[in-house]
A and B are shown apart, each in its own frame.
Chain A
Amino acid sequence: MSVAEIYEAVLDYDDEAVPELVNAELEANTDLKIILDDGMIAALDDIGARFSEGTLFVPEMLMAAQAVQAGMDILRPLLVESGAKPVGTVVIGTVKGDLHDIGKNLVGMLLEGASFEVVDLGVDVDAETFISAAQKNEADLVAISGLLTTSMPEIESAVATIAEANKSRNLNVKVMVGGPPVNNDFATRIGADGYGESAPAAVERARNLVAA
């Protein structure tokens, strides 16, 4: 028995085996952080890399994220108890006027699997709701998604409102944007701190932003 089995179970998308194996590791007094980092996060990163190279697809990503979540449900209270801090706190949502959410959900699941605390505000979220949730949860990052080209001006204005709140309203968050019509040029032009071309790329960018 080893955390490598947890890694393999995530790669098998086995959301029944993962919690069983996590419990077995806990009984064997394996360090929480090793279970998390070497078992689950490493496996999800592996899945993310295969997704990015085009050998795994959306259903496999969803199933792997679900398997990791089943393990996280056990680990999360123990991590809180041990005083371990999440990698960071992300407030995530689909921008005002847009109801599409599969991309946003996928990024949220992967962020959780990567040990972020995720506050999901759902769809059709206005800038003020992002700001108050970020303040309330002492978030490090706000992640804003949109699928439609019509959402791009809304994303731009939400980023500007949040930047303003960073200056004047006792807020200190970085902002990431994503979604099919969004690209790096757009993200840079509107003053966002980060952009992920894909869900795994967004997780990587979030890690860099909270480490910076």
Chain B
Amino acid sequence: MAWTHRQRVLAAINHEEPDRVAIDLAAAGATGITIDAYDALKAHLGLEHESVLMSKLNQLAQPDETVLEKFGVDTRPIMARGRRGGTGRWVDELTYIDHFGVTFKSTVGTADKHFLYKDGPLCGGELTIDRIDEMEWPDPEDPLMAEGIKERVASYKAQGDYCLVFNVPDQVIHRAYGLRGMESFLMDLFKAPEAACYLMDRLVDYNIKASEAMIREAGPENVDVIFFGEDLGTQNGCMFDPNVTYAKLIKPRHERIIQTLKSLTGGKSLFHCCGSAYLFIEHLIDIGVDILNPVQVAAKNMEPERLKAEFGDRMAFWGGINTQQTLPQGTSEEVAAETRHVIDVLGKGGGYVLNAVHNIQPEVPPENIVAMYNTGLSHRYLVPA
């Protein structure tokens, strides 16, 4: 039997071995490639099409179909324009105020050009419910959010049987960091828990309403995977207490988004959490997460062997090729060897979709990107005789 792209990914997620490892590039806002890395890759491959930005703020490319086909990519995105949608405005080349009123800034003259939130409408002073209500909220049903989705889904369907990944357009704690400032919001969880929870609830409502409007355009039956998440880990540990701060305050909000959208579409939940996600994984399984991304293998307790042994029967993995060392600093032989190893470990019995840990960064040599994907393309699960 010839496997379709979609069958391959769904088999992997269902912990079955397809013909080869399933492969992703740029189906989600945190599984893509930066524009500079993409341009270098294009030159390396001798391709001459014009590069398209998927997100200017994140400096991400929308890879061309020729590249996706070359790497055997099994996935395609369902995503708001510019990743988060909404209408914002440019103050100058390096300053953008988005639809929530959050100011994003970038800087000049270095390899990294992506934009970071630096000010928001709830920054400073105490966080109160009144301030949250008085803030100017964007319309989750802004038609711009879902613009073009119907046509893009139809075009993917006409091209082939891909696994379509719906990207929830916004976030909860990360959006709260943008609105309020990261340090302040982390302290609000303790010092103003009622207002902090109210803010999170309103952000959950926003995400669900915006997602519903987008999914109506895409067709719920076309959503195979639902991408949502936020960073709970740090390089060496947890951002906050997994069993108290996360479990009591944040987890129920994540659960509401994931369960609502899973029952609306029947899709699988792909949760993005950078850093050491290890101590959060049981909680994520508990709220219905099926797949973990980006599997930041260089963070504490995130070795592929450990994750597969402890959670492999209940959690699939998406990502895992080391962005912090091997991809930027290794040789293409080292990248190929690591990719084989990660496929062998995380992909045993299925349960793995190949990609880098997070977006491929500007300094990653194109040879290394090719080595990662070619290793995936030439991989074969042993078919029983």
Contact = CB atoms under 8 A, between A and B. Distances in A.
Same assembly: yes
Interface of A: 13, 54, 56-60, 62-63, 66, 96-100, 102, 105, 124, 148-151, 153-154, 180-181, 197-198
B206 to A, nearest CB: 24
Nearest to B299: A180
A97 B107 contact: yes
Contact of B186 (A54, A59, A198): A59
Interface string B354-365: 000000011100
A54 B190 CA distance: 18
How many chain B residues sit at the interface, stated as a range, is: 20 to 34
A62 B118 CA distance: 18
Interface in B238-293: 238-241, 245
A100 B116 contact: yes
A57 B238 contact: yes
B182 interface: yes
Interface of B: 105-107, 109-112, 116, 118, 182-183, 186-187, 189-191, 234-241, 245, 323-324, 328, 361-363
A10 B303 CA distance: 36
21 contacts: A54-B238, A58-B186, A58-B239, A59-B189, A59-B190, A62-B186, A66-B187, A96-B109, A97-B109, A97-B110, A97-B111, A98-B112, A99-B107, A100-B116, A102-B182, A105-B183, A149-B323, A150-B110, A150-B362, A151-B110, A180-B324
A59 B245 contact: yes
Contacts, number: 71
B107 A59 contact: no
Nearest to A179: B235
B361 A150 contact: yes
B184 to A, nearest CB: 9
Nearest to B242: A57
A148 B183 contact: no
B112 A148 contact: yes
Contact of B361 (A59, A98, A99, A148): A148
B53 to A, nearest CB: 18
Nearest to B300: A54
